[in-house]
Structure 1
Amino acid sequence: MLKDKVVVITGASSGIGALAAIFLAEQGAIPVLMARSAERLHSIGARISGPHKLIVMDVTNTEQVHQAMKQVIEEFGRIDVLLNNAGYGKFESILEMSEDEFSEMMNVNYMGTVRCTKSVLPFMLERGEGHIVNVASMAAKIGTARSTSYTATKHAVYGFSNSLRQELRGSGITVSTVNPGPIDTPFFELADPTGTYVSNIGWFMMKPELVARKMLRLIDRKQEEINLPRLAAIGMRFYQLFPRFADKLTYKMMNKK
């Protein structure tokens, strides 16, 4: 049951994070929306009925992360679910992308997840319960050209999640990963400004409402992992079994950037 659960969502000002917050509130949960843009947060907050909270926070700023989580604990007494959703991507070749951009993307996508998790975990361990949900990607399992930086960050999130799950076995804390394929969200405004990728794989893109609903079901059922869509989930299993063969077999089909 999601009713009365305090759910912290990073990257909640747009896309699946914003929709998850809206849907959670509809089911009686108390979403706490965190993002860098106060204007966007308030825009989403206006669409939420019922108790909720908006906090301006940058996941790359350790002090802001600690203060934000402390604020939630002081007001609500607990954090039942942490949904690490903040992240971005850019589709550029390794030679086009600067080292600083590689570093910054890792700082947001991976280290942002680490910072938020480390800030919340002591409170969850003290209570002996909690749920950490990390949004990785299909890219965490299948690499494609012009995505070396983004793929590396999501591999890091996925590996971190798997190791953390083992570390927390028996603690009462569930660790989950969400691995979606392409979603029709503002993510691609930065990742694919020319629209080439979106044009090539538009038929395969998922509606954000679908992904947000699937995430809520994962939270409700405390599933440890979901891969979306189903076709991609099958492809991921095949890739893990025969990675080099799959590379050669799917090269043209997968490289649409």
Structure 2
Amino acid sequence: MTASLPTALVTGASRGIGRAIALRLANSHEILAVARSTTELDTLASEIDARGGRCRPIALDVTDGDAVARTLGGQAVDVLVNNAGVGALKPFLELAPEEWRRMVDVNLNALYHVTRAVLPGMVERGRGDVVNIGSIAGRSAFVGGSCYAATKWAVMAFTESLMLEVRDAGVRVSVVMPGSVATHFGSGQAKDWNLLPEDVAESVAHIVAAPPEVLIHRLEVRALSPKRPRRR
């Protein structure tokens, strides 16, 4: 009989960093891939299946607390990767109210909804990993980041506070803080020295693979140098 794989739930899994994380963790986990785009989730699931892995796509708006509780509550999740995020990077006086609300809803409130749905099961079983995808913006201010950076500072505080609350229950809580990543995120354009989504995915895999009694709580990942193109 084939042993069952541990389960990893990845939000924002349809593209970019989330997709890379889902593909990387599929080497050792059954993936619950969460995003709003059914088409992109189905494509991801097909790719994981073709590689011999297992993936269950879940179309879900993670800002809808009731829907998250109904869909994810009670799921036996071993690894939760809170990756879903959005960014409207522009000066404060150009930032529309709906852009502000959207960033707070996706980058912060969804963190509560999803974690609250699956964390009780981890605590009950006495094990689990919660990995939040933050940003170096979570400790560095920049022009155009009045809301985005604020949400990432909040992610840092949430992560450390939660870690202190549940570490004695056997649940590890970590944050990965990438520098600039070559994705479609935000309004900027990727540079030839940017990190790749796969670089962030390797960092998540490193955290999850740590020995059971070891906690890698905070991991900052940067490109080696913005002065030269990276070697691919």
Report the TM-score range of the alignment, normalised by the length of the smaller protein: 0.7 to 0.9
Q: Which residue of 1 aligns with 2:209?
A: 220
Deviation sequence 1:137-168 (CA, Å, 0-9, x none): 01001010011111011111111101111111
Indicate the percent of aligned positions where both proteins have the same amino acid: 33
How much has 1:100 moved relative to structure 2? 2.8
What TM-score, normalized to structure 2?
Answer: 0.87
Deviation sequence 1:146-204 (CA, Å, 0-9, x none): 111110111111111011111113110000000001100121xxx21xxxx436xx244
Please give the residue correspondences for 1:190-229 in structure 2 after superposition, counting only pairs within 5 Å.
191-192=186-187, 197-198=188-189, 202-221=191-210, 222-229=215-222
Q: Which residue of 2 aligns with 1:40?
A: 40
Counterpart CA distance in 1 for 2:152 and 2:217 is 17
Deviation sequence 1:30-56 (CA, Å, 0-9, x none): 011000110111111111122221101
Structure 2 residues not aligned, in runs of 5+: 226-232
Which residue identity does 1:168 align to in structure 2? Answer: V
Q: Which residue of 2 aligns with 1:67?
A: 70
Deviation sequence 1:195-243 (CA, Å, 0-9, x none): xx436xx2441111122112111111152111011669xxxxxxxxxxx
Q: Which residue of the other structure, out of 47, 51, 55, is the alignment partner of 1:52?
A: 55
Structure 1 residues not aligned, in runs of 5+: 233-257
Counterpart CA distance in 1 for 2:42 and 2:184 is 17
Check the 8 A contact 2:167/2:173 in 1, yes or no. Answer: no
3-state SS in 1 of match to 2:147: helix
Q: Which residue of the other structure, out of 176, 179, 182, is the alignment partner of 1:178?
A: 176
| 1:29 to 2:22 alignment | no
How much has 1:8 moved relative to structure 2? 0.3
User: Relative to 1, partners in 2 of residues 1:41 and 1:88: Cα closer, same or farther, differing over 3 Å?
Assistant: same
4+ residue runs of structure 1 moved beyond 6 angstroms? none
Equivalenced residue count is: 215
3-state SS in 2 of match to 1:148: coil
Check the 8 A contact 2:194/2:223 in 1, yes or no. Answer: no
Q: For the aligned residues, what is the CA RMSD?
A: 1.7
Counterpart CA distance in 2 for 1:183 and 1:98 is 25
Counterpart CA distance in 2 for 1:185 and 1:101 is 20
Which residue identity does 1:8 align to in structure 2? Answer: L
